[in-house]
Amino acid sequence: MGRKECKACGRFFEVEENDKDRLFCDACKDEEEENFKAVREYLFHNRGASAWDVAKHTGVSLRAIDRFLKEGRVEFITKE
Ligand SMILES: [Zn+2]
């Protein structure tokens, strides 16, 4: 068991040995997944949308979208 810093809220949370790759605390995990689905869905229908467009239409923060990009979970966003 160890402690990790949540990538979304920055709070520390406990992780089990078999769950070491976890990036988010319990509070953020579900929200992060919902955000990711919303972003992916929007991009699917709006190819080439900018991160700003995505944030405006999905309500997901630019910070979260930026994180998805850095993690390589979403692609083909044209940077403005
Ligand atoms: Zn968190």
Q: Is residue 78 part of a domain?
A: no
Q: Is the pLDDT of residue 79 over 60?
A: no
* DSSP string across the chain: -EEEE-TTT--EEEE-GGGTT--S-HHHHHHHHHHHHHHHHHHHHSTT--HHHHHHHH---HHHHHHHHHTTSS--PPP-
Q: Is residue 26 part of a domain?
A: yes
pLDDT (0 to 100) of residue 36: 94
Number of domains, the chain? 1
CA of 1 to the centre of ligand 1 (A): 18
Q: Is residue 38 part of a domain?
A: yes
Q: Is residue 49 part of a domain?
A: yes
pLDDT (0 to 100) of residue 76: 61
Q: Is residue 25 part of a domain?
A: yes
- For residue 41, what are the domain limits? 2-70
Q: What is the pLDDT of residues 26-72, one digit of tens each?
A: 999 999 999 999 999 999 899 888 899 999 999 999 989 998 988 88
Q: Is residue 8 part of a domain?
A: yes
Q: Which tokens in the block code for residue 53?
A: 């467009």
Model-level pTM?
Answer: 0.74
Mark the residues whose beta carbon lies below 5 A from ion ligand 1: 6, 8-9, 25, 28
CA of 11 to the centre of ligand 1 (A): 6
Q: Is residue 17 part of a domain?
A: yes
Cα gap 29→51, rounded to integer Å: 21
